[in-house]
Amino acid sequence: MEDMQRLVHLDLKGAPPKVEYYEKIFPLMRKWGATGLLIEYEDMFPYWGPLSEISSEHTYSLECIASILRLAEENCLAVIPLVQSIGHFEFVLKHDKFKSIREVPNYPMALCPSNEDSLLIVCMMIDQVMEVHPGIRFFHIGADEVYHLGVCEKCKSRMSEENLSPQQLFLIHVKAVLAHMKSAYPTITCIMWDDMLRHAELPVLISSGLGDMVEPMIWHYLSNFQLPIDIFEKYSKVFPNIWIASAFKGATGANAYVTNIAYHIDNHIVWLNVMAREGSKFKKIQGCAVTGWQRYDHYAVLCELFPQALPSLGICLLTLQQGSFTAEVHTTVSQDLKFLSLIPLNPYQRSPVPPCQFPGSDIYTNMIAYLYLSTNYEEFVNDERVLTWMNDYMMEKRFSNPVHIEPILAQCSIILDSFRKIHSQLEASLKEVFYTHTVEEWLKVFVEPKIKRMSDVIEKGKVQLGNQ
């Protein structure tokens, strides 16, 4: 797998790191065999002019992006920008200015491929991103998970008049985006996610004309292979080159905050086996994007943060480069991240976490400590004693026995103190890597509701004891 590109996916629609963090992690990525970055800016790109309101209030400045690109170049990491072109368009369609190009008026996910403004806006977004990324060789147009196609009146009318299926609407739109790329940037090779192509009949794919315009990136993040059995045979008849996409984080739960490295190792082993079996069908497997999703969509909470998953990234990249997961891979990454012993591969087994020192390691250790504390919390709130003698009904009726309430409150106080301590530790460690809005969001979503619940239990318990 030495000649294959290995891209690290940066999903910036959640928890974008401070620029100085990239300076610390890019050399590690390169050491582990990364050759490039797949940067999904979403609303962190500083669009301008008619597109300015798309950008987040926390967006990277053009100077920040220039710094990221410079750091990437210094570490021999080629940059591939990703701009969504039809689905996952919430960051655009949530704004009043762009609601008119929604496929479904109430839903901001997919744009209408029959609205002429849709293509204009997508191409304008691409042009602005291209302007800031001179000299790149590849560009990713997204185009995955388009859940609403051919449902608006404009699309229905068009399908009827032109005898088109929803799938053909999608293919025609994608081809128009690719035609713009080919015309404006003839040296660029375009990439798209493959999932909207998976169930297309071979004649439809061939007649779409996409074969010489784009290279599909086949994504699959499970630990056992579950894609259609004929997918590689079909794609090989249309596309000379393909890419694949694995995952090092962000694929095991929309609100997961700790990474099960063992799961992602299995995902990469599955892909290595598939490539060995199917690779000869194609002129070339261009490379693998090791994805690390930060939100499942624009409106989802944050999932595993990048620094927490850095050990997983290292192991996955080196496994790809070496062609297998070995004791040497495990040892090398453990030493690179200054673990005193081997990196635990499954934190959910509650094995002791050895001391470590790497960029963001305090986030890693605090997250695992929070995981263990949250397990204690769940055991407490579902404990038979709490459900029997401190349930809401009993508290409302002020019907309780101190012999039961007192030990419950004692245990609750210990858990509450632990949560307050981990809140303080997490706040400090998160601020080292992330901007204030990310720190605030993570703590308010994951930690503070538990602190509030424990505080409420103690308050109610004290009221009960005061009534005795």
pLDDT at 397: 63
The mean pLDDT of 412-422, rounded to a whole number, is 96
163: tokens are: 């005898």
The mean pLDDT of 403-430, rounded to a whole number, is 92
Cβ contact 169:150 at 8 Å: yes
The mean pLDDT of 147-164, rounded to a whole number, is 96
Q: How confident is the model at residue 222 (pLDDT cuts 50, 70, 90)?
A: very high
Tell me: pLDDT of 408 over 70.
yes
DSSP string, 178-218: HHHHHHH-TTPEEEEESGGGTTS-HHHHHHHTGGGT-EEEE
pLDDT at 168: 96
* Residue 247 DSSP SS3: strand
Tell me: pLDDT of 468 over 60.
no
Active site residue 145: yes
142: tokens are: 């997204």
23, 145, 427, 432: which one is catalytic?
A: 145
167: tokens are: 């799938």
Tell me: pLDDT of 138 over 90.
yes
The mean pLDDT of 366-379, rounded to a whole number, is 95
Please give the model's pTM, rounded to 2 decimal places. Answer: 0.95
Tell me: pLDDT of 99 over 80.
yes
296: tokens are: 């499942």
| Average predicted confidence (pLDDT) for the chain | 95
Cβ contact 286:241 at 8 Å: yes
Nearest one of 194, 237, 185, 186 to 215, comparing CA atoms:
194
- CB-based burial of residue 172 (10 Å sphere; 0-12 exposed, 13-18 middle, 19+ buried)? middle
Tell me: pLDDT of 461 over 80.
no
pLDDT at 350: 86
H or E segment and range at residue 103: strand 102-104
Contacts (Cβ under 8 Å, ≥6 apart) of 186: none
- Span of 84-88, 236-240, 298-302, 404-408 with lowest mean pLDDT: 404-408
H or E segment and range at residue 236: helix 231-236
The mean pLDDT of 454-460, rounded to a whole number, is 86
The mean pLDDT of 422-439, rounded to a whole number, is 98
Distance, CA of 293 to CA of 251 (rounded, Å): 7
pLDDT in tens, 178-216: 999 999 999 999 999 999 999 999 999 999 999 999 999
pLDDT in tens, 73-98: 999 999 999 999 999 999 999 999 99
41: tokens are: 């800016």
pLDDT at 460: 80
pLDDT at 405: 77
Distance, CA of 406 to CA of 462 (rounded, Å): 9
Tell me: pLDDT of 424 over 80.
yes
DSSP string, 213-262: T-EEEEE--SSS--S-TTHHHHHHTT-SEEEEEEEEES-S-TT--S--HH
CA 445 to chain centre: 17
- Span of 348-352, 365-369, 370-374, 432-436 with lowest mean pLDDT: 348-352
Tell me: pLDDT of 148 over 80.
yes
pLDDT in tens, 258-292: 999 999 999 999 999 999 999 999 999 999 999 99
pLDDT at 381: 83
Name residue 8's beta-bridge partners. 37, 290
Q: How confident is the model at residue 392 (pLDDT cuts 50, 70, 90)?
A: confident
pLDDT in tens, 4-56: 999 999 999 999 999 999 999 999 999 999 999 999 999 999 999 999 999 99
The mean pLDDT of 377-390, rounded to a whole number, is 79
Q: What are phi and psi of 57, to 5 degrees?
A: -65, -15
What are the helix (H) ranges across 2-152? 19-31, 62-74, 90-93, 116-132
